[in-house]
Homo-oligomer: A and B are copies of this chain.
């Protein structure tokens, strides 16, 4: 791992730190859609956990002598574009977005983290740890589908739109960040390795859709 460029490490910390801020933002927004005060408090609690993750990443950037705002800046436009293009309009859409969308992103970041040197590898793995959102989302979505099976079709379409938009934006991010692209290709070994990485991410995505009871 000695050959990893610090530019790639900073890129990954930067994109993750901004992703945590937008996750905070989105969970806070979705909290307002909650049908109960308990659900609203549960989402607010998850949003708060994202802020703590954000703070750990920015503390590490400062340790590396990097200004967090500068490291995050290149990722503001693509991540905002993703969220603006997939703004949840119902409580259930918000939950599916958090579970399916964040699940995809987390899998991707975790694959990349495996190529990082320590202590950044462990730091990234820890901030990617689930904040309890997954179980909560699965429970709420399944309960809603049990009450009204027609919900399933709409949510499956919504999940497909999320995946499409996520692919578009992640390709844009990687295309503009050579260090990150090189890290992934060097880490996986070659293009076949990149294909296997995408295969693992797809398998995990299919499993999450299954957990929600949605077809891919």
8 A Cβ contacts from A124-149 to B: none
In the complex, which of the residues B28, B37, B69, B72 contacts A69, with contact meaning CB atoms closer than 8 Å?
B37
Q: What residue in chain B is nearest A73 (Cβ atoms)?
A: B37
**Size band of the A side of the interface?**
20 to 34
Q: Is the CB of A51 within 8 A of B54?
A: no
For the complex formed, measure the closest distance between the CB of A25 and the CB atoms of chain B, giving whole angstroms: 6
> Is A31 part of the binding interface, using a Cβ–Cβ cutoff of 8 Å?
yes
What's the Cα separation between A58 and B55 when bound, in Å? 26
**Which residues 38-55 of A have a CB within 8 angstroms of B?**
38, 40-41, 44-45, 47-48, 51-52, 54-55
Q: Which residues of the other chain, B, contact A76 by a CB distance below 8 angstroms?
A: 37
- Contact residues in B for A29 (Cβ distance below 8 Å): 28
With A24-B47, A41-B51 already in contact, 18 other A-B pairs whose C-beta atoms are closer than 8 Å: A18-B37, A21-B41, A24-B31, A25-B28, A25-B31, A25-B44, A28-B28, A28-B47, A37-B68, A37-B73, A38-B69, A41-B54, A41-B55, A41-B68, A44-B51, A44-B54, A45-B51, A47-B51
A55 to chain B, nearest CB (A): 7
Chain B residues with CB below 8 A from A89, complex form:
none
The residues in A between 1 and 50 inclusive whose CB is less than 8 angstroms from any CB of B are 18, 21, 24-25, 28-29, 31-32, 36-38, 40-41, 44-45, 47-48
- Chain B residues lying within 8 Å of A36, measured Cβ to Cβ, are 69
How many whole Å from A114's CB to the nearest CB in chain B? 27
Min CB distance A46 to B, Å, is 9
Query: Which chain A residues in 174-193 approach chain B with CB under 8 Å?
Result: none
Find chain B residues with CB under 8 A from A38 CB: 68-69
For residue A48, which residues in chain B have a CB less than 8 angstroms away from its CB? 24, 47-48, 51-52
The answer to whether A41 touches B28 (Cβ under 8 A) is no
Q: Which residue of B lies closest to A58 (CB)?
A: B41
